[in-house]
């Protein structure tokens, strides 16, 4: 099984050192406790330069601390609070057929998905710090709120894969003309369905609905995941495909760190020896990793310097 950390985390392995490349056999299964990694080991792999090509997979759990609700949490998740939209079933709000028939529920929900007063949080700044240190190979996010791309978070477009699209751009459902997301946002904020100024068709944000193809950039995973020497998975249920299966695409010798409220996906039913799970609040888990890395002061300086710049 993967090593599961729950706060507070007793760490007693200071001073352990790991080779630049872990033996391939170490991640291939087996029940030995000897080869298991702890959170501190992951920090040391980063700190000593053993891991320099870090891929991050992020889900709704990195945005909820910024005030954006996730989809599946019972009671508080978006899917639990859609009665007001008179949907045949919750997922219909992200189905293209229903959208074309009645786009109003989606645009009403869009105001909640991208509220203008939300700002990046500690998790976003941690990923930014990975980038600043030249360690971030790519960030794959399920989120459509755009917090990873705002000026304060500062993740450049070249490092970002928005697997489910975003509000940054939009396309007319009739004439297929592309529009900047800001061109339709004024209409959405006023409670109106945005229409194409050329053909009057409904303009849909470039968010991937059920059944739609993934964005072209998503297929960077074919190159990125075999190259990665560390995989960080932050705040995701690992339920939505094909995103969820990406966590299996790294080599078996590569450590995988899950920081999440629950133990999910293959971490629960087919863990690898190199897996580490920090179960609990995602912000607390990231802060613990930052502390072990010795980056706390840098993180505080970054947040203080950039927090005032946040804008979409």
Annotated binding residues for Zn(2+), as ranges?
172, 175, 196, 199
**Cβ burial, residue 51 (10 Å; 0-12/13-18/19+):** buried
| SS3 labels along 132-189 | HCCCEEEEEECCCCCCCCCCCCCCCHHHEEECCEEEEEEEECCCCCEEEHHHHHHHHH
Dihedral of the CA atoms 187, 192, 193, 199 (nearest 10)?
-70
Q: What are the binding residues?
A: 172, 175, 196, 199
Q: For the CA atoms of the chain, what is the radius of gyration? A: 20
Number of neighbours of residue 143 by Cβ within 10 angstroms: 23
Q: What are phi and psi of 298, to 5 degrees?
A: -60, -40
The one catalytic residue among 124, 131, 164, 221: 164
Would residue 252 show up in a list of annotated catalytic residues for this protein? no
| Strand residue runs (E) in the chain | 3-6, 54-58, 136-141, 160-162, 165-172, 178-180, 203-207, 230-234, 256-260, 275-279
**Which active-site residues does the annotation give?**
164
């Amino acid at each position: 099984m993967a090593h599961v950390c729950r706060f507070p985390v007793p760490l007693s392995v200071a001073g352990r050192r790991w080779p630049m490349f872990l033996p391939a056999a170490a991640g291939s299964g087996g029940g030995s406790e000897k080869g298991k990694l702890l959170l501190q080991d992951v920090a040391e792999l980063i700190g000593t330069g053993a891991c320099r090509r870090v891929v991050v997979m992020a889900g709704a759990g990195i945005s909820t601390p910024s005030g954006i609700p996730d989809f599946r949490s019972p009671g508080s998740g978006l899917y639990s609070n859609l009665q007001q939209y008179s949907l045949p079933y919750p997922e219909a709000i992200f189905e293209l057929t229903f959208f074309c028939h009645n786009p109003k529920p989606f645009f009403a929900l869009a105001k909640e998905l991208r509220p203008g007063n939300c700002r990046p949080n500690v998790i976003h700044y941690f990923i930014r710090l990975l980038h600043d240190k030249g360690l971030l190979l790519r960030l794959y996010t399920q989120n459509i709120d755009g917090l990873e791309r705002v000026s304060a978070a500062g993740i450049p477009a070249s490092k970002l894969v928005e697997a489910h699209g975003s509000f940054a751009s939009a396309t007319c459902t009739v004439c297929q003309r592309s529009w900047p997301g800001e061109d339709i946002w004024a209409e959405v904020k006023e409670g109106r369905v945005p229409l194409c100024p050329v053909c009057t068709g409904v303009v849909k944000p470039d968010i991937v609905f059920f059944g739609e193809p993934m964005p072209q950039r998503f297929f960077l995973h074919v190159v990125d995941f075999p190259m990665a020497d560390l995989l960080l998975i932050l705040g995701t249920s690992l339920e939505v495909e094909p995103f969820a299966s990406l966590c299996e695409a790294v080599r078996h010798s590569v450590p995988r760190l899950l920081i999440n409220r629950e133990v999910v996906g293959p971490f629960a039913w087919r863990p690898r020896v190199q897996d580490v799970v920090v179960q609990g609040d995602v912000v607390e888990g990231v802060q613990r990793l930052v502390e072990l890395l010795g980056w706390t002061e840098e993180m505080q300086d970054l947040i203080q310097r950039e927090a005032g710049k946040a804008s979409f």
